Structure 1
Amino acid sequence: MNSKIIHARLMNVPLAAIAAAIISFNAVAEQNQALETVTVTAQAANASSDIERQRNSNKMVAVQTSEAIGELPDANVTEALQRMPGVFIVRDQGEGRFVGVRGIDPNLNASTINGVSLPAPETDSRAVAMDVIPSDLLSSLEVFKTLTPDMSADSIGGAIEIKSLSALDRDGRHFKLSVENSYSELQEENSPKLAGTFTDRFELDGGRELGVAIVASHQARNFGSENIETDGIWEKLTAVDGSEAFGAVEIEQRDYTITRERTGLAANFDLRLSESSQLYLHTLYSDFSDEEERQRNSWKLDEENDDPASISASSAVWEDAALEKSLKDRLEEQEILSVVFGGEHQLDQWGIEYALGYSQAEEAEPHRRDTDFVQEGLLLGYTSAGEKPQMAVGADDLEAALTAANYALDELVIEDNFTEDEEISFRLDFSREIQLAGKPSELKFGLHERRREKSGDLNATVYDGFGADYTLADFAMGQVDYDLAAFGPGVNKGALNRFIDANLSSFEVDEAETALGSARDYVMSEDISAVYVMNTIELERAQLVYGVRYEATDFSADGYRVIESEEAVPGAEEVAEDVYVSPVHYQRDYSNLFPSVNLKYDFSDNIVLRAAYTESLSRPSFGYLNPSPAAVEYDEGELEVEAGNPALDPYEARNLDFSAEYYADRLGMFSVSFFHKRIDNFIVVADVAGVVDVADYAGSLPVDDAEILQPVNGDTATLTGAELAWTQGFDNGLLLRANATFTDSEASLGLGPDAERSDDISLPNQADLVGNFIIGYERDAFSLRLSTTFRGERLLEVNMEDAGGDRYEDDHMQVDLSAKYRFENGLQLTFSGVNLTDEPLFVHNAGYNGQYEEYGPTYVLGLTYSTF
């Protein structure tokens, strides 16, 4: 028996031609009475498959299959999604975590896996940090930009559907094993990864067939970042000598060392009972841990509430300032479990689908330790402002600032935090083929139930007495490796932890600060009941989908009201000296009706036109709804508060969409779409100190200066945009993919005519430009991808009194590279580079530093063996 393996990189050949070539080849083989095996590995076909699924959809959608995802250096679901039209990502430590669609806040998306909503393990988020899901677990990603009534209405930006592997989608038994190592240039650290996939189909009695797919992935990544950021905002300050300029009173230098581990497991079982009946059980488990060591210098320039001695546009000096050195030692562990059991059956004229899902996510921070050492009475300041302020110490104080023995052990905070998010869901859908006005159509209706509960058990113990006068010299390490500036000595984690473990029982507890840091527990429940009816009509060259969905929401929240006061607070319990706590309960029920119409029109064999009108909503993030304040800090007349607002209304949107898509006979596609959204009750995080009663947090204490950050509903916002997408393959092996989404938004804060600042802003967290550009090259066994992703500037926080205090995240452009070589024995060698241009994160107000963080590039070398 002869065997031949043909590796075809067919950049511009339609799938029909590939199939014809295989048939022709087999015919020749039969004539020669020799059995030949042909394997076509056409990576261009991946793009063709994505395009075909998009073309056939009755909604506006972008599709990416697992094969296309594997062409780029994307370690998790979030980073894979960033390549799709209109999608951008929000990063943490340089890695993608949250996903936004059409430039809109990630909290305004819906995310499901195998049809079941994903929970959010973070304390304050509704948006799912999908970096906990390895890309190896995926079958496909779909981003829906218009909705039909059979979909949940909680999506203004887009609905993201993650489909995990099914063995019934493949023939026979297959497996894949991948090993790789990544290298962080900034940290000079190596990080291994191992992933494996197994699928098989089993013939059972009675013509039934069972598909089993098992996927496992594990990575331990060692990396980090360097950061300088401002605690608060830059605002106009007046110096002792009478000079005035924009300045900041607390600036922090931070150096992060991180070990991030991800373990993903999926086991999917699909049982085909007959051609018209199928059962399935899909499971996903993801374990994520983040071990973080943060060295920090805090330049507390107005430690004694003093004005600067002098100030200019680029420099300032304080004569009685403090320098604090801190260590954060934190392990964060997250788990996500998703299980869904369901079935699909065709019974004569009726179709029935059902699914029972359970999803659970949790986050734990066990024994987190934040330790501060402080030196006071220094001459401190900065010699440049802008993106990266350059900090400076007076010449006479320089030696003291570099001497570890001058930093006294000031405070230790130990936290034990646990958050859980749990949801049970059920859906039942019926469909029937009918004739409507002489045209074939499908009537579909059903009900969906979701029962969700999110809770937090947050505990902090603050120690400020240690039985002796300890200094940084007792726990010092050498100079911290920090490229942004000279950092000085840091804190030795091992020596400090040994000291804490041996002496913790003798430390003195700050009862007031401990009470303030621990009265943050909450329980929030959200029950959603929905029914819908929709009709799909097949016309001669068009398809019309219309219907209505009704959703009823029952929300409740339990937490605590916390007040620091010298006088008793009626109805509250004094849990520590001057700290009063009382339980609070909020209850709210509301319902909405969501009509929608989607029209698809085949103008010609190559041109598809679409139009849609939909209505949707997005419920506020759980951090915004939390009735317990995240932080209440009072210090000598200065009050700082971070609080939620359980009385928030949900976003409500009316959406118009139009698109035209051109599909080439060969591999190629061009589309242009326009969208307009009118959004009521949009939410903005604002400093509301000027419009709320500070006594709600400080009681009878005198307040000279207050910052109270709280989410509030704005009035009305509009968002208008256009989206372009282009894919084209060429005979020489070149593949180009480009997309760009342009948006313009206007939002009204509803401040009234007496407001000191402008009432008009852009929609919070919205990016005005999102784009991707990918150059691919295929030749024989070699594959190359060079990709660029871009996200424009977006507004993060609003200062209700002064627009100069509004906080923005600067635009971000990142370049990544992936190269692959496939050997004839099934092995594939991969090299990739991520963030090759070392793109930083920059947050600012009025152009001045809010946060500047560098991550450096990462390089990955991998080897894969596959029978796929």
Structure 2
Amino acid sequence: MKNDARTARRLVLPLTALATAIISINAAADDSSASMETVQVTAQAANARSDIDRQRHSNKVVAVQTADAIGELPDANVTEALQRMPGVFIARDQGEGRFVGVRGIDPSLNATTISGMSLPAPEADTRAVALDVIPSDLLASLEVSKTLTPDMSADSIGGAIEIKSLNALDHDGSAYKIGVENSYSDLQGEHSPKLAAKFTNVFELDGGRQLGLAIAASHQQRNFGSENEETDGVWERMQAEDGSEAFGAPEIEQRDYTITRERTGLAANLDFRLSDTGKLYLHSLYSDFSDDEERQRNEYKLDKGDLQTITASSATWSDARIKKSLKDRYEEQKILSVIAGGEHDLDLWGLEYALGYSRAEENEPNRRDTAFQQKGLEIGYTSAGRTPDLFASDSAAATDPSRYGLDEIVVENNFTDDEEVSFRLDLRRDLQLAGNQTELKFGVQQRNREKTGDLNATTYDGFGGDYTLADFAMRRVDYGLAAFGPGVDKGALNRFISANRANFTVDETATALDSARDYVMDEDVTALYAMHTIEFDRANLVYGLRYEKTDFSADGNRVIESGAPIAGAEQVAEGVYVSGESYQRDYNDLFPSVNFKYDLTDNVVLRAAYTESLSRPSFGKLNPSAKEIEYDDGELKVEAGNPALDPYEAQNFDLSAEYYTDRVGMFSVGVFHKAIDNFVVTADVTASTDLTQYVGSLVVDDAEILRPINGDTATLTGAELSWTQGFDNGLLLRANATVSDSEADLGLGAGAGRSSKIALPSQSDLVGNFIIGYERDAFSLRLSTSFTGERLVAVNSEDAALDSYQDSHMQVDLSAKYRFANGLKLSFSGVNLNDEPLYIENSGYNGQYEKYGPTYVLGLSYSTF
């Protein structure tokens, strides 16, 4: 029995070939006249039909987008292409989509694979793969599975994202495409070029064998930026010296970012068809992503002064400080994935195998953070809300660069590496059971993963002289949210550091604290599974059991800033002691699953599924080394990991009905329920933390300890609707929405200062898309709207008013294309046309407000596909 994937492929290929086809039907009316009827199958309609048919014939609940369908949208990378699927939303960085979430669930709770093998993550703090490093030009299709079968990794509570790369055997003969683009950032006034190309060829060999070669490459240099105002910490209730009381902020920052991002993607795939029953393949993907960031920042350090008076919308501090700082950071991320394998049909038996190697690394060389400081200022704000209006009573002093003394320079060299070797072997056997065609499949999978971090920072607090910002001042910072004052000239500062660094004085304590964050984490997963598929007359049943054994170990450092020696710890600087921190645990899990599909009629498909899954906490949350320890005059701030975290565990229920029209049309409605144990949330755990583990016997007057903890239980219940309809006049409408509701229990117990019930962290109650497409002759147009509802992003274990939420986000994008008869295509896109910002708040007060502006893209391509 052939599996569903092969069946779906045979259905998809002829539909894809129709993408630009025009079928002409000639009929003679009589001897003297003739009439012609032309039926045009538009590219948009054919691509929609291809996606729909892949979904219809799957034995799971899935959403699919082929490369041709992605090409109709204004999406530059895999992340932004995925956001158009039902139930899918994206998390953005500097306005660009980076991480993908499914059904409103945190992006770190998804599994991501390419050609069946998992992808590692270059970032230090997350398992979520930033799919923006993979250009959309390099893929054949995207598939998001919302229910799992036993032959899939169980590491997925949200969804399993499968990236299928180019396969030359899906095309006939030789074909190529080359394209150029230029994008324009309206906020920064910068242009960004892009070049992409792909080539496929099929070589006919002796004995009917075929060798397919597919090569794709893409390079983009994007120049853009953002403007930001954010609060360091949260707004909390404060009492002023005059007795007034209201919510106030400890520190408010103004930030201006200027960024150059470069993306280079390469894919080279070999597919060798031995016969109708066997093939071999070698697929490779390389991605190089760099981010050159310059950040100008004003830090209004309000809580370093004395609060004189405060209202709900204004406050004044005396003897406070302003810091002006520059972050000069170049970061490079690389992902390499190589997969070799084969598939063979051996009469009643089938064999599949694959060996994969993946590596992701992030390198941050010679990062420089420089701060200038002025003390003794009377400062505050005259309005609160989304963007507080900041003021200084003596504005002349606050904007005088000569009054800002050079306070600190930090030079960092950081490197993280995520490496995985994986192997899978699958056997299947065709059987007859009570007259029904069935398939028994079983196999073994092994994944060995190692995540390492080598973090090094040197802090300088003496510079051989009394330097001020006037020695390095940049008079104008292009910042539109408010008056910014002078900034830091990067060139002048870097020349100074290069010429004088050997004479700087090292802050031994800060350097020791920041450089003791190294870690090594190993995670080995061994999996066995058995799966049975039964084909009834109008139904399909897939059920089975998966076993996974996880071996986890973590090695890091425990750092203590103390006035007295610490037993068993090594002194690395005056008052700083370090001891090794190791953790190891093994756990075993069984994951039953059932997927049932029933063709009620030729047009109606019913589905039901029960699956169990887990999601392992991110490596950043498992890190035994504290990410940050700051102690200053009795004030302690710690951001730490927790290697003892249990993995999320979930029971997942799905019911859905799908209606398919004879033309380009589909309507589906589904409901789902997830019961989740051990969900993870970052919480302020100061009240329950022994502070001596960070400061020994030092006196602590005020502390904030942030650490991930396991909550108790959580539930997520929702409904998912999707609609696609094509019309004879070339109009295509697509809409989808996922509505969900969640409740999680922090497990605080009796006597807690707040309710233990919260929404599931990072879960959005509403995720939706609406797309209007139109195609007539050579012209096509798409207007796309994506919406992600409010979601909880940070929890305070003592006061619900201090919880932080990310505001709802709605973005409007436009794509227009004109296809010339000779294969040329002219395209125009507008991204974030409504200038939607990012906003995070607590109790209605600013947490982060960031503005990106719209981007416009003009492109030209030539294709023989």
Within the alignment, does 1:767 sit opposite 2:764 as a pair?
Answer: yes
Q: 1:746 matched to which residue of 2?
A: 743
Q: 1:427 to 1:239 in 2, by over 3 A?
A: same
What's the offset of the Cα at 1:24? Answer: 5.8
What's the offset of the Cα at 1:437? Answer: 2.8
Q: 1:413 matched to which residue of 2?
A: 410
One-letter identity of the residue aligned with 1:212? L
Task: Kindly provide the CA deviation profile for residues 450-504 of structure 1, in whole angstroms up to 9, marking residues without a partner as x.
Answer: 0000000000000000010000000011121110000000000000000000000
Task: Kindly provide the CA deviation profile for residues 826-868 of structure 1, in whole angstroms up to 9, marking residues without a partner as x.
Answer: 1000000000000000001111000000000000000010001
Cα pair 2:42 2:730 within 8 Å, conserved: no
Cα pair 1:426 1:450 within 8 Å, conserved: yes
CA distance in 2, matches of 1:289, 1:416: 15
Q: 2:669 matched to which residue of 1?
A: 672
The aligned runs of 1:11-50 (5 Å cut-off) are 22=23, 42-50=43-51
Task: Kindly provide the CA deviation profile for residues 498-529 of structure 1, in whole angstroms up to 9, marking residues without a partner as x.
Answer: 00000000000000000000000000000000
The aligned runs of 1:149-168 (5 Å cut-off) are 149-168=150-169
One-letter identity of the residue aligned with 2:624? P
Q: 2:754 matched to which residue of 1?
A: 757
Cα pair 1:14 1:665 within 8 Å, conserved: no
One-letter identity of the residue aligned with 2:147? T
Q: 1:104 matched to which residue of 2?
A: 105
CA distance in 1, matches of 2:41, 2:203: 25
What's the offset of the Cα at 1:20? Answer: 11
Within the alignment, does 1:826 sit opposite 2:823 as a pair?
Answer: yes
Q: 2:385 matched to which residue of 1?
A: 386
Cα pair 1:257 1:293 within 8 Å, conserved: yes
Q: 1:296 to 1:15 in 2, by over 3 A?
A: closer
Q: 1:146 matched to which residue of 2?
A: 147
Q: 1:223 matched to which residue of 2?
A: 224
What's the offset of the Cα at 1:205? Answer: 1.6
Q: 1:134 matched to which residue of 2?
A: 135
What's the offset of the Cα at 1:695? Answer: 1.1
Q: 1:657 matched to which residue of 2?
A: 654
The aligned runs of 1:429-440 (5 Å cut-off) are 429-440=426-437
- Which of 500, 505, 510 is the aligned partner of 2:502? 505
Q: 1:518 matched to which residue of 2?
A: 515
CA distance in 2, matches of 1:256, 1:108: 30
CA distance in 1, matches of 2:626, 2:842: 25
Within the alignment, does 1:866 sit opposite 2:863 as a pair?
Answer: yes
What's the offset of the Cα at 1:570? Answer: 1.2
One-letter identity of the residue aligned with 1:237? M
Q: 1:312 matched to which residue of 2?
A: 311
Q: Secondary structure at the match of 1:172?
A: coil
One-letter identity of the residue aligned with 1:198? F
Q: Secondary structure at the match of 1:296?
A: strand
Q: 1:256 matched to which residue of 2?
A: 257
Q: Secondary structure at the match of 1:842?
A: strand
What's the offset of the Cα at 1:207? Answer: 1.5
Cα pair 2:21 2:42 within 8 Å, conserved: no
CA distance in 2, matches of 1:19, 1:430: 39
Q: 1:18 to 1:194 in 2, by over 3 A?
A: closer
Q: 2:8 matched to which residue of 1?
A: none
Q: 1:26 to 1:57 in 2, by over 3 A?
A: farther
One-letter identity of the residue aligned with 1:147? L
What's the offset of the Cα at 1:813? Answer: 0.3
Q: 1:613 matched to which residue of 2?
A: 610
Cα pair 1:787 1:817 within 8 Å, conserved: yes
Task: Kindly provide the CA deviation profile for residues 48-105 of structure 1, in whole angstroms up to 9, marking residues without a partner as x.
Answer: 0000000000000000000000101101100000000000000000000000000000
CA distance in 2, matches of 1:348, 1:14: 29
What's the offset of the Cα at 1:39? Answer: 11
Structure 1, 336-345 or 569-578: larger mean CA deviation: 569-578
What's the offset of the Cα at 1:731? Answer: 1.3
CA distance in 2, matches of 1:209, 1:695: 68
CA distance in 1, matches of 2:314, 2:389: 9
What's the offset of the Cα at 1:762? Answer: 0.4
What's the offset of the Cα at 1:271? Answer: 0.2
Cα pair 1:14 1:667 within 8 Å, conserved: no
What's the offset of the Cα at 1:208? Answer: 0.9
What's the offset of the Cα at 1:17? Answer: 10
What's the offset of the Cα at 1:714? Answer: 0.3
Q: 1:32 matched to which residue of 2?
A: none
One-letter identity of the residue aligned with 2:625? S
CA distance in 2, matches of 1:18, 1:787: 21
What's the offset of the Cα at 1:540? Answer: 1.3
Q: Which runs of 5+ in 2 are unaligned?
A: 1-13, 29-38
What's the offset of the Cα at 1:348? Answer: 1.6
Q: 1:846 to 1:21 in 2, by over 3 A?
A: closer
CA distance in 2, matches of 1:802, 1:833: 42
Cα pair 2:42 2:776 within 8 Å, conserved: no
Task: Kindly provide the CA deviation profile for residues 663-687 of structure 1, in whole angstroms up to 9, marking residues without a partner as x.
Answer: 0011100000000000000000000
Within the alignment, does 1:336 sit opposite 2:335 as a pair?
Answer: yes
What's the offset of the Cα at 1:302? Answer: 2.2
Cα pair 1:519 1:581 within 8 Å, conserved: yes
RMSD: 1.7
Q: 1:572 matched to which residue of 2?
A: 569
Cα pair 1:455 1:521 within 8 Å, conserved: yes
Q: Secondary structure at the match of 2:304?
A: coil
Q: 1:78 to 1:792 in 2, by over 3 A?
A: same
One-letter identity of the residue aligned with 1:377? G
Q: Which runs of 4+ in 1 moved over 2 A?
A: 13-27, 38-43
CA distance in 1, matches of 2:756, 2:542: 39
What's the offset of the Cα at 1:315? Answer: 0.4
Q: Secondary structure at the match of 2:55?
A: helix
Within the alignment, does 1:400 sit opposite 2:391 as a pair?
Answer: no
Task: Kindly provide the CA deviation profile for residues 566-620 of structure 1, in whole angstroms up to 9, marking residues without a partner as x.
Answer: 1111111111111110001100000100000000000000000000000000000
CA distance in 2, matches of 1:21, 1:310: 74
Q: Secondary structure at the match of 1:479?
A: coil
Within the alignment, does 1:811 sit opposite 2:808 as a pair?
Answer: yes
Q: 1:302 matched to which residue of 2?
A: 303
Within the alignment, does 1:80 sit opposite 2:77 as a pair?
Answer: no
Within the alignment, does 1:537 sit opposite 2:534 as a pair?
Answer: yes
CA distance in 2, matches of 1:16, 1:542: 29
CA distance in 2, matches of 1:727, 1:107: 29
CA distance in 1, matches of 2:70, 2:17: 23
Q: Which runs of 5+ in 1 are unaligned?
A: 1-12, 28-37
CA distance in 1, matches of 2:346, 2:687: 64
Q: 1:197 to 1:26 in 2, by over 3 A?
A: farther
Q: 1:462 to 1:25 in 2, by over 3 A?
A: farther
Q: 1:326 matched to which residue of 2?
A: 325
Q: 1:547 matched to which residue of 2?
A: 544
TM-score (structure 1 length as normaliser):
0.96
Q: 2:460 matched to which residue of 1?
A: 463
CA distance in 2, matches of 1:18, 1:75: 21
Q: Secondary structure at the match of 1:309?
A: strand
CA distance in 2, matches of 1:144, 1:650: 21
Q: Secondary structure at the match of 1:206?
A: helix
CA distance in 1, matches of 2:61, 2:186: 40
Within the alignment, does 1:184 sit opposite 2:200 as a pair?
Answer: no
Cα pair 1:260 1:290 within 8 Å, conserved: yes
CA distance in 2, matches of 1:587, 1:574: 26
The aligned runs of 1:847-866 (5 Å cut-off) are 847-866=844-863
Q: 2:272 matched to which residue of 1?
A: 271
Cα pair 2:19 2:44 within 8 Å, conserved: no
Cα pair 2:139 2:164 within 8 Å, conserved: yes
What's the offset of the Cα at 1:26? Answer: 14
Q: 1:43 to 1:510 in 2, by over 3 A?
A: same
One-letter identity of the residue aligned with 1:219? Q
Determine what percentage of the aligned residue pairs are the same residue.
Answer: 74
What's the offset of the Cα at 1:15? Answer: 9.3
CA distance in 1, matches of 2:135, 2:601: 40
What's the offset of the Cα at 1:438? Answer: 2.9
The aligned runs of 1:607-756 (5 Å cut-off) are 607-756=604-753
CA distance in 2, matches of 1:314, 1:42: 54
Q: 1:69 to 1:25 in 2, by over 3 A?
A: farther
One-letter identity of the residue aligned with 1:778? E
Q: 2:484 matched to which residue of 1?
A: 487
CA distance in 1, matches of 2:655, 2:411: 54
CA distance in 2, matches of 1:436, 1:584: 56
What's the offset of the Cα at 1:23? Answer: 8.8
